[in-house]
Structure formats: structure tokens, C-alpha cells
Amino acid sequence: MRHLQCAHGFRSWAGDLRPSTSHCSARPEPAVWRRVLVPEHLTLGQLHNVLQIVMGWAGEHLHTFSIRGKRYGDAHEGVLQFCTVANELPLTAFHLREHEGFVYVYDFNAWWRHEIRMERRMLRQRPGQLPRCVAGCGPCPPEDIGGIERYLEARDEHSEYEFLDWIESLRERPIVLEDLRDEVDRWLTWLDRRFDRQTVNDRLREFEG
């Protein structure tokens, strides 16, 4: 993520969120990113909740932040313990510099790795207006698809060319209307590459931390 602002003693923090695909550089990187404004007093635990909303996920898996060589996240019995409980640690504790970045990893099996960058301080943002997504690109990968490699494979399997082949196959088999609706919905989910910022901001307005 990126950005910070000051007005009337109130600060907000914002920036870009980009899933990292550096470990599979042979494949094209999905154009998926979000730019979000958040209050600077937000804790890492609350930031995790905001990231889940803007990415369209449900927060059902473990996560960790890696900031300046240290890891912060939820501590669970039987799981790697982190150096600090993130839910209690505000962003102000890190004194992040403009353009400084850190890493957010969600789901240790799928390893959804996101690069977050703080852009700058921003003025005249009222507390009631934050958090807010101000820009973004690309639909989020399905949460439980199994990671970036599996997502890229599934996206290839549901390309426009594959969709045309599927349409052609309908001529060669009997059609059950209810099954057809389900299949069309599945295809549309993959073919629609838009990011619905309005829906994200509707959810962010209900955000309570």
C-alpha cells in the first residue's frame, strides 16, 4: 500500500496492494492491485481485515506481515509464533517512510504473497471516510484455489477461446437448463476481469475493525 496525510491532527495512511508472482516469473503476472486509504492509527490486525475486504476474501486462513525483517501476525497453538501480536500493533509504531514497503502473506499453504507500499501522507481526510479504496485493477483470485500457479492454470482453462469451444460443444449434447445456468455463471466469473470498487467500498463502510 502507499500514502499518508495530515489534517486537523488526523492522519490517514494509504497505498498499493499487489500480489507478488516473483516465484513463478515464467508465467505472466495477473494485473491485480488495489490502492487504499486507511487511518494511520489502524492496527496490523485491522489492516489484515481491510485487505481481506478489498481482495474479496473471507479471512479463513492464517496470515503474517513481514516488516523490516520481523514477522507479525496471529499466534495460534501449534503454529509458528510471531514476535508480536499484530492485533495490538498500530501502523504508527513503525514510522514508515514514504515509498517504504513490506510484505503481507495470507494462507500459508497457498502462500498468497502481497507487496504493500506506503506512498505518502495525505491531507483533509475525515475519519468517517476511511478506510476507502480509491483505485484498483483486476478481479481477485478465488481464495481457496490453491495459490498463484493454480490460479494462472485455471485462468488459462477459462480463457475466451476455451469459452468459445464450450459454446460449440453445446450443439453436440442435450442441455439441462439449470445445469446450463450454473456453467454460464462459472464461465462469467472467470471471463469478467473487472474490479468492482463500489462493492468493495460498500463493505468498507461497514468496517468495524
Full pLDDT tens readout for the chain, 209 residues: 334 332 222 334 445 555 543 333 344 455 789 999 998 889 999 999 999 999 999 999 999 999 999 988 865 555 555 555 667 889 999 999 988 999 999 999 999 999 999 988 776 556 567 899 999 998 888 898 888 888 888 777 766 656 566 566 776 777 665 666 777 777 677 667 789 999 999 999 988 76
Q: Look at residue 193 in the predicted model and tell me its pLDDT.
A: 74
Tell which CATH classification among 1.10.1370.20, 3.10.290.30, 2.40.50.140, 3.40.50.300 matches the domain 2-139+193-206: 3.10.290.30
Q: With contact defined as beta carbons under 8 Å apart, do 83 and 72 qualify?
A: yes
Q: Look at residue 1 in the predicted model and tell me its pLDDT.
A: 39
Q: How far apart are CA 194 and CA 143, in angstroms?
A: 17
Return the closest-CA partner of residue 7 out of 121, 119, 95: 121
Q: Look at residue 28 in the predicted model and tell me its pLDDT.
A: 45
Q: Look at residue 176 in the predicted model and tell me its pLDDT.
A: 60
